[in-house]
Amino acid sequence: MSDFVHENLPCGIEFGVAPLPQRHVVSFQIRVLTGACAEPPDKLGLARLIGETIDKGTQQRTGRQLSDAFDAIGASRGSATGRETATFSCTVLPEHFDKAVALHAEFVRAPTFPEDAFTASIQLARQELLALEDDAHGLADKLIGQKAYGPLLGRHPLGEPETLDRITRDDLEDHWRSHFHGGRIVVAVAGAVDPKRVAEIFQEQFDGFGSPHRDGRVTFPVEFSAGATHHHKELEQEQIGICWPGVQATHDDFPIQQVILGVLSGGMSGRLFTEVREKQGLVYWVNAWQETPRGTGMIFLGASTTPDRCDRTYATLLREVDRLANDIQQDELDRAITGLVAALETRGDSTRARCAELANDLFFFGRPRTDEERVAKVQAVTIEDACRYLTTYPRDRLCVVTLGPRPLADSAIEDAHPNDSGPA
Amino acid sequence: MQKVTDGPYTLHTLDNGLRVVIERMPHVRSAAAGFLVRTGARDETPPFAGVSHFLEHMMFKGTARRTWRDITVDFDRMGSAYNAYTSEDRTIYYGWVRKADIGKQIELLADMLRSTLPASEFETEKKVVLEEIAMARDNLEHRAFDFLQEKVFAGHPLAWPVLGYEDTVGPLTRDQMGEYFEQRYAPDNVLFIVAGNVDPEQIIGFAEKHCGSWAVSGVAAKRVPPDIHGGTDVLTVERFKQQVVALTFPSISACDERAETAAAAATILGGDNSRFFWSIVQKGLAPRAGAYHLEYTDCGLMMLYGICQPENAEYLLEAMRVEADRICTERVREHEVERVKNKRRTSLAVESETPYYRLTQLMDDMEYRGAPRTVEQMLAEVDAVTADTIYDYFQEYPVNADGHLASAGPRRWPVVD
């Protein structure tokens, strides 16, 4: 922890810095704690539209002038709007850091949401919804997300065609005015910077930006819907998605969950890859992962396979989860732990990755965490811990979504649920 | 063989012809190792389309010392970030590990590349590859790109997809694959690269120990540059919702010294904050429109590409053609060039941070230029790009000619006689 700096600025910004003096770049993330969950229910897609148009004009510059100003310092930028946050990320050479922060402050604080940019963003959002129909994985993710999280956390950032129709330019401005302010901003910085200077520049640039009162650190309710749902679509492969509730990122059992997911899908020796792909050749793609909105956790299994093999694939996925509690082995636990620990060192050579880790820690834990702290918790996981986790959080209520030419056979669902009443 | 050290690089060639390239990165905690095999889809014959990619899968399936299970377990015991991929002209295997594990990583990768192609795994893995082909057929952009290559490179090995086809992968036998493997995976057709916090002497020792006995095949690559075809071709697939529109034109190869100029030209025309972005995307015409310089060892394509609602296809095409004509007839402005160069400088700094990125850059350098480049050398090439060099490039490789137009999606457009 000794090298991290973590402070709250008078302007309301919470910021963390990981000084990495040997690096040749600086990365930072500005997370505004508002996303799709904060949208009015009849105007879904609003948060993302703000994210798309906020840098298309300020009181000082047109969108193009702003982009040119970023390019003049060689900034590598990105932005994303999710359920809970709007994130603006940037990597620059250290000598351009101050200017990069100033330009971000300019559009975050003083966007003009030009009418033409707003119109274009609505048109593009409609087309992105259409594009989602051509993206089988992305569409399956959207469909299972709605079932897993319910009407609030399950919102898709793109919104829906009918809700996009209702959004006006004034809505963007009103929503930005009420949801973008200093107290809702969390900043993470990693790289060759002086933490003191980072504090000064952010305070200077965001001084007086709305209320400094800490806001947005809320959790949103989950409405998990157990059951099996099929969505017919003409595809060569069937998309299979399975999920059930897990634990949140700050829970004491979270490191155990991470390790168990590593056992299932941490590498090619993981159980799903081994049993579904390597032994049976049922799939090219199979995976297990977790999502952790603030205050909740969700476990997902996913695979895509040709329709006549989907029942067997589904059965194998669940069989592997079910037998974990009975036969998890020390060597696979060790491999999962090693995978998590090694990734900290390999990915840690990337300044951008270090910044993203810090940003996540500030978001979930409200403080930076050292590699040592992460490693210690993961390395402490034992087989007994894993078995206790699997007993405490059984996959007894499943949400299953399939997308493709045919639903799962009833018999496949029944066979995969010998000890419960099945997902439906 | 003589070892050559040049700045952070050490180059060495084993007696059997395997070239070794090492970059020392003393400031990092990790190291990456990779084998580049100079074989890919363009080295196949039509009946065996897809064998290079299928072979890449089989490399994970067993050796004289390891079963497929041993291979994956050994990778994961190190916590390696590992994978492999196949392109038109190369197949790459890599692992990125903590620096202390680099010796084990090299031994494992080297062992894998002497696969026994276990017969017991062949048919099972074939099913995996056929699933991968099915997955690609559900992806409009993947299909559109395969279609484009099929038409632009018609009659040449670059025309078929890296994954191959169901009816070429399906009947493929292990013996046929074995023959291809013997010819193509010989040490004189392989490059071994390591980047990271490593001791070059030790790495050379690992290479000698684990690869020194590999037998030379003597089969040289027989690659012939393709003819690049123009015209208009339409792929109609009703189940998709969007339309891909792609214009392609001949360009320089990856080995050409003007590669940075071509990349900058593509960025000005169709990168972030580009002419396409402001005249197409930000007009709401298409969510994606870009220009991409596609590089191969002996040819290149400049591809102007967009994806839109089917009814907007002709408008997208017209908008792309307007900008293409403008960039060919009017010199780009110096500030546009500077913007692109500034961003390139940042991206080079980012890429030089991690051994994995350096590994991929070194592979490109060795394949396309025959020697590694420092970041400073790369920056010098970026600095040499000007509005004049871009103008000259477009004079030689215009994108306002007819080129090749590929359209893919639910709409049968344009109507071709």
What ipTM describes this predicted complex? 0.96
Q: Which residues of A touch B139 (CB under 8 A)?
A: 134-136
Please say if the pLDDT value at position A424 is more than 60: no
Please say if the pLDDT value at position A418 is more than 80: no
CA diameter of chain B: 64
* Cβ distance of A267 and B239 shorter than 8 Å: no
Residues 6+ apart with CB under 8 A from A41: A151
Whether the CB-CB separation of B375 and B348 falls below 8 Å is answered with yes
pLDDT value of residue A1: 41
Strand partners, B35: B93, B192
pLDDT value of residue A420: 59
Please say if the pLDDT value at position A87 is more than 80: yes
Q: Which residues of A touch B67 (CB under 8 A)?
A: none
Q: Each residue of B71-104: pLDDT tens digit? A: 999 999 999 999 999 999 999 999 999 999 999 9
* Nearest-by-Cβ selection for B124 from A56, A71, A281: A281
* Touching B: A residues 36-75, CB under 8 Å: 56, 63-64, 67-68, 70-75
Q: What are phi and psi of A219, to 5 degrees?
A: -110, 150
Q: Where are the domains of chain A?
A: 5-206, 227-358+366-415
pLDDT value of residue B164: 98
Q: Work out whether strand A185-191 and strand A14-19 pair parallel, antiparallel, or are unpaired.
A: parallel
Q: What confidence tier does B191 reach under pLDDT thresholds 50, 70, 90?
A: very high
Q: What are phi and psi of A13, to 5 degrees?
A: -70, 135
For residue A157, the SS3 value is coil
| A203 contact B CB<8A | no
Q: Which residues of A touch B76 (CB under 8 A)?
A: 266-270, 335, 338-339
* Cβ distance of A279 and B335 shorter than 8 Å: no
Q: Work out whether strand B19-24 and strand B91-98 pair parallel, antiparallel, or are unpaired.
A: unpaired
| A25 contact B CB<8A | yes
For residue A239, the SS3 value is strand
* Cβ distance of B350 and A234 shorter than 8 Å: no
Mean pLDDT of B301-312: 98
Please say if the pLDDT value at position A68 is more than 90: yes
How many contacts (CB atoms, under 8 Å) link A and B? 194
Q: Dihedral, CA atoms, B308, B309, B310, B314, nearest 10 degrees?
A: -60
DSSP A62: B
Please say if the pLDDT value at position A9 is more than 50: yes
What is chain B's mean pLDDT, rounded?
A: 96
% of residues, chain A, pLDDT over 70: 98
Please say if the pLDDT value at position B222 is more than 90: no
Mean pLDDT of A318-329: 95
DSSP A409: P
Show the tokens assigned to A158: 């793109």
Class of domain A227-358+366-415: alpha beta
* Nearest-by-Cβ selection for B354 from A64, A76, A349: A349
What are the C-alpha distances in Å from A57 to residues A46, A64, A112? 18, 8, 5
Which residue segments constitute the domains of chain B, with CATH numbers given? 4-211 (3.30.830.10), 231-409 (3.30.830.10)
Q: Tell me whether the CATH fold assigned to A5-206 matches the one assigned to A227-358+366-415.
A: yes
Count the neighbouring beta carbons within 10 Å of the beta carbon of residue A226: 18
Q: Each residue of A89-128: pLDDT tens digit? A: 999 999 999 999 999 999 999 999 999 999 999 999 999 9
* Cβ distance of A136 and B138 shorter than 8 Å: yes
Please say if the pLDDT value at position B35 is more than 90: yes
Q: Which residues of A touch B347 (CB under 8 A)?
A: 76
Which contiguous run of DSSP H or E holds residue A222?
none
Mean pLDDT of B303-314: 98
Owner of token pair 């279609």: B147
pLDDT value of residue A417: 73
Please say if the pLDDT value at position A421 is more than 70: no
By C-alpha distance, the chain A residue nearest B334 is: A72
Q: Work out whether strand A399-404 and strand A227-232 pair parallel, antiparallel, or are unpaired.
A: parallel
**CATH tag, A5-206:** 3.30.830.10
Mean pLDDT of B210-219: 89
Mean pLDDT of A357-373: 97
Please say if the pLDDT value at position B416 is more than 80: no
Please say if the pLDDT value at position B27 is more than 90: yes
Which contiguous run of DSSP H or E holds residue A14?
strand A14-19
Whether the CB-CB separation of A33 and A81 falls below 8 Å is answered with no
Mean pLDDT of A338-350: 95
Show the tokens assigned to A310: 């989907």
pLDDT value of residue B218: 74
Q: What is the edge-to-edge ordering of all strands in the sheet holding B19-24?
A: B4-6, B9-13, B19-24, B190-196, B30-37, B91-98, B81-86
Cα(B303)–Cα(B403) distance, rounded to whole angstroms? 10
Going B136 to A290 to A262 to B193, the CA torsion angle's sign is positive
* Cβ distance of B342 and A24 shorter than 8 Å: no
* Nearest-by-Cβ selection for B353 from A23, A234, A267: A23
What are the C-alpha distances in Å from B106 to residues A202, A313, B99? 46, 34, 12
Mean pLDDT of A324-330: 94
Which contiguous run of DSSP H or E holds residue A20?
none
Whether the CB-CB separation of B242 and B310 falls below 8 Å is answered with yes
Cα(B252)–Cα(B381) distance, rounded to whole angstroms? 16
Q: What are phi and psi of A406, to 5 degrees?
A: -150, 150
% of residues, chain A, pLDDT over 90: 96
Mutate to test the interface with B, among A53, A76, A286, A346 (most CBs of B within 10 A): A346
| A181 contact B CB<8A | no
Residues 6+ apart with CB under 8 A from A405: A232, A233, A234, A235, A238, A307
What is chain A's mean pLDDT, rounded?
A: 96
Whether the CB-CB separation of A261 and A340 falls below 8 Å is answered with no
Residue B190's identity, in one-letter code, is V
Cα(B20)–Cα(B37) distance, rounded to whole angstroms? 13
Mean pLDDT of B397-411: 97
Please say if the pLDDT value at position B219 is more than 90: no
Please say if the pLDDT value at position A30 is more than 50: yes
| A269 contact B CB<8A | yes
